[in-house]
Structure 1
């Protein structure tokens, strides 16, 4: 059976994104890399691509924050009911306590909600509008 290795998010500014994922979500930076052209450009389907990566330890998987040198324009923030929309789910021990430490400028889709399965969830947006689900079991 294949095993999940990492989730990659293309971001507009790694510094801003690190403030969110490292400083707010407490993920640890484990590596910083850069790739350009050649096999990398071929693999991502962007000839002459150049990108900087921050690899973070997110517990059960790695999170790659990828900033391309020449990105295309930023798409409109996705909604959860749009096909192709993704979100990153993160388990926290105490959702209310965790949210108390999230800066007020971090967009939150609603107040925490209890689902029919008994989990308490809330969705946030990172600096690029990526959806982050915080979940307390």
Structure 2
């Protein structure tokens, strides 16, 4: 049966990104792991690249994979949700206010007040977006009680 193993997010600063996603999720940090060589070059299409990978294991076993490409001349994209092809992680947390407080201590503020979804598969969920490292919009969700 298909299931999600991880979502990869390319970052410019592994330390800052790890601190952000760890604060948001309280997940287990694995890494960073440095990967390079012919297989990595072939898979990524970037000759000479080294990738610093850090994984954050969430409570359900799904991972956030933070990948910092070193030695690659890669352009920065604008990950704004309104841009076609942009994606955002939506992370279910047990206490949305506690996650926001930890993120605020790192200088990250929500983009709006916490809202409650009124229809569809998220009906009853509380949610809010936070602008994370590299301008990635991260949606925090709290399940209905």
Report matched runs for 1:1-137 at 5 Å. 1-60=1-60, 61-71=62-72, 72-76=74-78, 78-103=79-104, 105-116=107-118, 117-137=123-143
Contact 2:80 2:136 in 1 (8 A): no
CA RMSD of aligned residues (A): 1.9
> Which ranges of 4 or more aligned residues in structure 1 deviate by more than 3 Å?
none
- Pairwise CA distance, 1:65: 1.0
Count residues in correspondence: 136
Counterparts of 1:57 and 1:88, CA distance in 2? 14
Whole-angstrom CA distance in 2 between matches of 1:16 and 1:129? 12
- Larger deviation, residues 9-18 vs 98-107: 98-107
Once the two structures are superposed, residues 77-134 of structure 1 have per-residue CA deviations (whole angstroms, 9 ceiling, x without a partner) of x332322111111112232343233316214221111111121110112111112111
Residues of 2 paired with 1:94 and 1:84: CA distance? 30
Structure 2 gap ranges (5+):
none
How far, CA to CA, are the matches of 2:136 and 2:35 in structure 1? 23
> Larger % of helix: which?
2
TM-score, with normalisation over the residues of structure 2?
0.82
